[in-house]
Structure 1
Amino acid sequence: MHMRSAPHLLTEDRSDFERILDDALRNAHERPDLAAVGQRLNTEQLRTMALNATALITSAAAAEYEHFTSVREELRSPSSTADRAILAPALSEAAETGAGLGAVVTVLAPVLAGTAAAIFLLVGYILKALSPAPSFAETLLTAGWFFGAVTAAGILVAAIGLLITAVRNGSTQVSAEEEPGGELPDEVARARDAWRHALLERGILPFLRAALNDPSVDPSSSTPPRQVSRIPKIGYSGPDFSSPSEGSAGVRPTFSSPDFTSPDFGGPEHQPD
């Protein structure tokens, strides 16, 4: 029988796995089957064990994950984004042009105005210190203060622009965390929800229950609990060797030494003829 291996968990989906695991551990007190959390194994030990067994846990929801990734890849395929690709260059060019011009104006305006203000004020106050002061010294000072006001206004506009950009990027980042890759279509969202549910119910929760119910689990070990192992454990037993003292006592061969008899030596009257 051919068994298809579970697809490898992609890096972009690992955050979902960790989030579901953390939620399960955080709400363990609400589940009677996880009531033993904190007695022999705490949440951090269980989390470490589950992360070490990510491949084993995610294999419980392999079918749902494969469907989810296939639907997502279809969405990302060039054929599904052809229409957007046609408009993308024009929109990108317009946005870049507008953003580039705005950035140049926002940056250069305060710099140039500040430089002009410094020059006019410096020269105006130097001329005003002379006796008699030239008539255009007041004009230079007025121009300097005008450019100073322009500099302050430019800095204020730049600060507001930076604040708006930061808020926009922050909201985009939050929505991206909630919905990776942007707002997902209904089919992809349903596939992802099905995978998350299967991962929790058939993968994470059984793993945690097995870890809590197995007294032989070492918290410092990365070996998954035996009850949730889906990899058959092949055992090898050595040949049955028994020591000579074990087993039934057999009949040992007996060896008798040859019967040697000394020659019959008699007295002189028995001398051979």
Structure 2
Amino acid sequence: MADPLRLRPEDRPDFEAVLHLALTTTDVQAALSADPTGRATARLRLRALGDADETAAAARAEYGAYLALRTSAEPGPPPRPAAGNLLPALAVLTPLVAAASAAVLLVLGHLLRLADAEGPLPGSLFTAGWVLTLIAGAGALLAFAAMLRTAIRDGGGTAHAARLQQARENWQRALLDRGLLPHLRRCLREDPPSCPTPPPGVRTAPSHDSRTATHPKEHPSHVGQPDQGPADQPQ
């Protein structure tokens, strides 16, 4: 059975970023400076990437908390397009239409009363106008409640994003302190970098001090004495 807290592919870039930070730490960088060619750094980096799952297990608790928050932040299935588009439209249009209709009916009822119109029509217009006024007020309250709910939900999403970012930083810090730095230091102890050796066939010339080298003719016993030929030798 696969480990649910195994390092996921989408978190590999974060792992590599923390690895780069660990390789630039003072003690690790000082140990790697023994090899100016950079081969030791590349070899150590490849080894750390190969042991990524084992190294990430040192920050298992922080990684689990980060994954839990990230999973809860994933959006669910999208709502139906019809319902998602119809409800906001009704919440906005209903108060407007009801208020406009109420105004028209109230004005007509008032004009009919001013004209001394007989019959129940002016009263019916007034009644319908006030009913539509109540409907417009209720629709306005519902629209305000929907806007308030949306604002609260967006604020909760912002707080959740902040908690998710904090959990990510906690995991990266634990990965650096308890995972990558101990792993790199152990690798450096097992395989310390060394200065590259010169290629075969290249010899270093021995140091030669011209002041101490003497020619046979410049031996102290010959200093100040002319060379003696065969004719000058004593008989």
Query: Same-fold call, TM > 0.5?
Result: no
TM-score computed with the length of structure 1 as normaliser: 0.37
TM-score computed with the length of structure 2 as normaliser: 0.43
